[in-house]
Amino acid sequence: MLTGINIHSVFVLDQEEALDFYVGKLGFEVGADVDLGFMRWLTVGVPGHPERQILLEVPGPPSHGEETAAQVRDLVTKGALGATFLVTDDCRGTYRRLRDRGVEFTEEPTEQPYGVDCALRDPFGNHIRIAQLPG
């Protein structure tokens, strides 16, 4: 029986730029940064939650050949590869703090049937939503 999700992959075009954004602006912490020779295994996560990580993966080997990697890079820049959903206890406060750090939002905090949420994109085009859930 499955009991959880440990790592979710998000495609980025530059891992150093991704670190600057996810760690420097969003406040994540590095989980692992390992040079495997054929790729860099770079994960980040919300501080205090090492059991859930995001793999900041560059399209290419070993998962993709060059033709497929080029297609994935194109889809990333179009924001066509889904979204990452984050939660907070205070959506409006988180929005203000991140905006003050230079994060550009595509949607301000808005009341939704499931709580309050806002939206942004990372520097590569990936969608990110931040929600304050009721309760």
pLDDT of res. 98: 98
List residues bridging with 11 in a β-sheet. 57
* 62: preceding bond cis by omega (within 30 degrees): yes
Task: Give the predicted TM-score (pTM) of the model.
Answer: 0.94
pLDDT of res. 62: 87
Rounded mean pLDDT of the chain? 95
pLDDT of res. 65: 92
Q: Tell me: the pLDDT tens digits for 91-123?
A: 999 999 999 999 999 999 999 999 999 999 999
pLDDT of res. 119: 98
Q: Residue 3 above 90 pLDDT? A: no
pLDDT of res. 33: 98
Phi–psi pair at 53, nearest 5 degrees: -125, 155
Q: Tell me: the pLDDT tens digits for 22-34?
A: 999 999 999 999 9
Place of tokens 């009721």: 134
Using left for φ > 0, alpha for ψ between -120 and 50, and beta otherwise, residue 82 falls in: left
Q: Which two tokens mark 94?
A: 């988180």
Domains of the chain (ranges plus CATH)? Answer: 7-132 (3.10.180.10)
CB 108, CB 120: distance < 8 Å: no
Q: Tell me: the pLDDT tens digits for 50-88?
A: 999 999 999 998 889 999 999 999 999 999 998 999 999
Q: In angstroms, what CA-CA distances link 11 with 23, 44, 70, 73?
A: 16, 13, 12, 8
| Alpha carbons 69 and 135: distance in angstroms, whole number | 42
